[in-house]
Structure 1
Amino acid sequence: MSEITIYHNPECGTSRNTLALIRNSGVEPRVVLYLENPPSRVELSGLITRMGITARELLRTNTEPYEHLGLDNPAISDDELLDAMLAYPILINRPIVVTPNGTALCRPSERVLDILPDAQRGEFTKEDGEKVIDRDGNRVS
């Protein structure tokens, strides 16, 4: 069984779907409720590096602190963006999933299928009714 971690917000449908897809592969992941237990600066920076993205690409833009803090200013450095995400974890986009096959921001939720080490065990339909996995465990196009 594979070691998988998900940085999860249970209020987010994409995060719930991603968690369900992980479980559909037969794995119970380590669930980090990052709003209650935010990652350290070193952890967050490491996740960004492993995902191959910038701090700005991880930043949630549709939440109040983003506008209030003026984070749309392109002159704001990655270090300053990290400071903002650590001070306001709601600014961290989610879900982030870490597996032996890689680390990814799983938006859309089926992005997790690209890094899961274990195959899906059965049918899966997202909360919105979109079928993602057929009854044989195969990805639906």
Structure 2
Amino acid sequence: MIQIYHNPRCSKSRQGLAIVEASGQTFEVIKYLDNPPSTTEMEGLLTKLNMAPEALIRKGEAIWKEQFKGKDLDHSALVDALCTHPKLIERPIVVNGDKAVVGRPPEAINDVL
């Protein structure tokens, strides 16, 4: 089943959700700010995205600048930051089977539908 990691307050995430809805496929909405991914789930997402954790971090967020910017963080510390502070996760993320994509731009979601 298709999953979308969604933040309703984000316009790109809302655009991504509209693309998934328009596909006519069954999907699950995961409001990751309310239910942050576990470390295991985040590692699985990164594998499906074929991304390093740093590439998934929203570096413009205040929490990144205040707590993490300029620090030498290893893979597990970055994954922990994403799980502990889900606001740092780039969005939306759409997962379909063993593939996933960050919907930036939203049209990229079509690659996994």
Question: Do the two structures share a fold, i.e. TM-score over 0.5?
Answer: yes
- Number of equivalent positions: 113
- TM-score, length of structure 1 as denominator length: 0.76
Deviation, 1:106, is: 1.3
Match of 1:99 among 68, 72, 96: 96
Q: Provide the rounded CA distance (Å) in 1 between the counterparts of 2:20 and 2:66.
A: 35
Q: Matched residue of 2:30: which SS?
A: strand
- TM-score, length of structure 2 as denominator length: 0.93
Deviation, 1:71, is: 3.0
Structure 2 residues not aligned, in runs of 5+: none
Q: Percent identity?
A: 37
Q: Which amino acid aligns with 1:96?
A: I
Structure 1 residues not aligned, in runs of 5+: 117-141
More helix by share: 2
Q: Provide the rounded CA distance (Å) in 1 between the counterparts of 2:102 and 2:32.
A: 14
* Partner of residue 8, structure 1: 6
Q: Which amino acid aligns with 2:60?
A: N
Moved over 3 A (4+): none
Match of 1:108 among 98, 105, 108: 105
Q: 1:66, 1:72 within 8 Å by CA — same for their partners in 2?
A: no
Query: Does residue 80 of structure 2 align to residue 83 of structure 1?
Result: yes
Q: Deviations over 1:9-57 (max 9, x none)?
A: 0011111001100111112420000000011100001100111110000
User: Looking at CA atoms only, which structure, 1 or 2, has the larger radius of gyration?
Assistant: 1
Q: Matched residue of 1:31: which SS?
A: strand
Match of 1:45 among 27, 43, 54: 43
Structural RMSD (CA):
1.3
